[in-house]
Amino acid sequence: MANLKIKTVLGFFAAAGLLMISLVTAPSANAAGPTAQPPYSLSVFAKSVIGLTGYSQPDSIVQWRDRIFVGFQNHVAKDGTDGKSSTIVQYSLDGKVQRTFTVPGHNDGLRIVGEHDLWSLQNEDANPNLVVIDLESGQQKLYTFSPTVHGGGYDDIVVKNGQVFITASNPTVNGAGINVFPALVRATLRGDMVDVEPVLGGNDNAIDIPTGQTVPLNLTDPDSLTIDPQGNIVLDSQADTELVFIAHPGTKDQQVGRINITSGGAPITLDDTAFAPNGQTFLLLSDVAGDTIYRLDRPVFGFVPGTAYSASDSVGIVGVLDLDNGVVTPIATGFGSARGMTFVVPEEDDRN
């Protein structure tokens, strides 16, 4: 088991609180199905089959009070051009279905905004839309975007200091293969529209965390978002095998760092990363290819607060990221395509 102690990066990024992350060797998927290595245990939280449940392909997962929400993509086209819909399913903490919502298009991003609004973001490749669901009343409202300057859609959502940030996904690159458009934007609602303003450009400069050198970014696949224990936004540029850390986003003090994601010297893609919170908790993760949501527990002493866990869609694992040495220690393997993750804190009733 890798050392789980967390260090912040010294020098420039110590002030910003940015974390040093890199990934190394990960095993291939277990053909016998997902298994967890002690001291972790893996169990099925919920399964879906579109012919039986009416929905399939679970991806994003969020918690609201004592309820879990999962976005099911239902094999809908990623640009929404097939006219089909995704399903948002509400579960109890023990995996029982409580209610469902239908949203137009291919759902990818889910996030609780404010006290009881669930933001559901659709169509990450093009033609994006946003559905806001009032979880207390069950009412839904559809919002649209102006034509995107980057030519693609929007993928994931994160909330920091009451502000909403989203990734500008599937950008059009120029003749040199560079994304000159915004990769991260700040979103606000106006009438029936979502207004966006740029926060991070796809080719902005960043500090390469291992070397301390200033380098240009080229974020051609902005994807998932999360917040690290230092309060930095963590952006996964998936196909670029790169994590980007943004301190003080959207302010004059904004600082950006990046690290390439590797496994034994070779690149590995991540879909989602989650940091263990304080207190009693368990980890939920989705396997979009296996139509299953899994529960991961660490029965002996529980999860270590602040530890980073990542899901890799390319090698079908969930692993612990040792932030001291950059090693990914696989703790669960054999997934078809590990995707969305969230830590669940049962005793909290106002977790966002």
Q: What is the DSSP string of 39-64?
A: T-EEEEEEE--TTTTS---EEEEEEE
Note whether 72 and 292 are within 8 A (CB). Answer: no
Rounded to whole angstroms, the Cα distance separating 274 from 36 reads 17
* Amino acid 327: pLDDT: 63
Residue pair 57/46 in contact by the 8 Å Cβ criterion: no
Q: Are 329 and 312 spatial neighbours (Cβ–Cβ below 8 Å)?
A: no
10-residue averages of pLDDT along the chain (352 residues): 36 39 36 87 94 93 97 98 98 97 97 97 98 98 98 98 97 97 98 98 94 95 96 95 94 93 75 93 96 96 93 89 67 94 76 41
CB 333 within 8 A of CB 317: yes
Domain interval for residue 300: 12-344
Residue 284 in domain: yes
Q: What is the pLDDT of residue 32?
A: 66
Number of folded domains that form the chain: 1
Q: Alpha-carbon distance 235 to 228, whole Å?
A: 10
166-180, pLDDT tens digit by residue? Answer: 999 999 999 999 999
Question: For residues 85 and 73, what is the distance between their CA atoms, to the nearest angstrom?
Answer: 8
Evaluate the omega torsion of the peptide bond into residue 39 and state whether it is cis, within 30 degrees of 0. Answer: yes
Residue 324 counted as domain residue: yes
The amino acid that residue 338 corresponds to is: A
Q: β-strand 205-208 against 193-201: which pairing, if any?
A: unpaired
pLDDT of residue 29: 41
- Domain-located, residue 350: no
Global pTM reads 0.89
Assigned domain for 322 exists:
yes
Asked if the structure places residue 103 within a domain, the reply is: yes
DSSP conformation letters of 227-238: E-TTS-EEEEET
223 within a domain of the structure (yes/no): yes
Burial of 43 (0-12, 13-18, 19+ CB in 10 A): exposed
Q: Is residue 1 part of a domain?
A: no
pLDDT, residue 209, reads 86
CATH number of the domain at 170, please. 2.120.10
Residue 349, in any domain of the structure: no
DSSP 176-200: TS---SEEEEEEEEETTEEEEEEEE
Residues 25, 89: Cα–Cα separation, whole Å? 35
The pLDDT assigned to 326 comes to 55
pLDDT of residue 25: 34
Residues 6+ apart with CB under 8 A from 26: 263, 268, 312, 315, 317, 319, 328, 330
